Chains A and B, each alone.
Chain A
Amino acid sequence: NAGVTQTPKFQVLKTGQSMTLQCAQDMNHNSMYWYRQDPGMGLRLIYYSASEGTTDKGEVPNGYNVSRLNKREFSLRLESAAPSQTSVYFCASSESHREKLFFGSGTQLSVL
């Protein structure tokens, strides 16, 4: 099993550009999450989806939108990228809202 797969692995954007980060899991998990990690810092929750059809804001949702496309896929969209959004983005999933998280390998995003 691949686990949690994120695409792309690296991306460079110019200020104001938009893009969508993709995440898919093959573990039949109900819950999915998006985190960001700034250099030398811990992770902060952006959005999560406790189950298919629901999404909720985390600690730092401003500037982002999410879509739970189906049970497998959870995408994160930056509508108008800003330099402050330069970060590593991690997607995670869990069997349920109460279970441990499985993380993807991350997307390194630079906004110039």
Chain B
Amino acid sequence: DAKTTQPPSMDCAEGRAANLPCNHSTISGNEYVYWYRQIHSQGPQYIIHGLKNNETNEMASLIITEDRKSSTLILPHATLRDTAVYYCIGAHNAGNMLTFGGGTRLMVKP
């Protein structure tokens, strides 16, 4: 797995965009960038993943730099329910997701 680095915590105002960065400078050419989030002590929830191109789905957008050394998860209009720990993982596939690291604890405030 690629080693990823994320800020331990971030705050965001409700209704504003939340931009969560992830550094994965050691990612290899065929490793995907996956994002999951964990609300309270529930099981993690898949958000989005990508290889080279930017991706968007109903939950978020994923922006990957051209050199693939970093990425940003964007929640376009954060709500209080988006308060969670967000994990960025670099892996070839699900079986290589050995570790969900510390992640970023996002606090969305009214």
Contact = CB atoms under 8 A, between A and B. Distances in A.
Q: Do A and B bind each other?
A: yes
Contacts of A103: 42-45
Interface string A48-72: 1010000010110000000000000
A43 B38 CA distance: 11
Interface stretch (B13-21, B61-69, B72-80, B89-97): B89-97
A105 B46 CA distance: 14
A101 B44 contact: yes
A41 B99 CA distance: 10
B73 to A, nearest CB: 15
Given A90-B44, A100-B34, A103-B44, A43 B100 contact: yes
A33 B44 contact: no
Given A42-B103, A100-B49, A102-B46, A59 B98 contact: yes
Nearest to B99: A44
Which size class do A's interface residues fall under? 20 to 34
Given A4-B43, A90-B44, A105-B43, A31 B99 contact: no
Contacts of A41: 102
Interface stretch (A14-22, A74-82, A91-99): A91-99
A106 B42 contact: yes
A9 to B, nearest CB: 11
Interface of B: 34, 36, 41-46, 49, 87, 93-95, 97-103
17 contacts: A4-B43, A31-B95, A33-B94, A42-B99, A43-B44, A44-B99, A45-B98, A48-B94, A58-B98, A97-B94, A101-B97, A102-B46, A103-B42, A103-B44, A103-B45, A105-B42, A106-B41
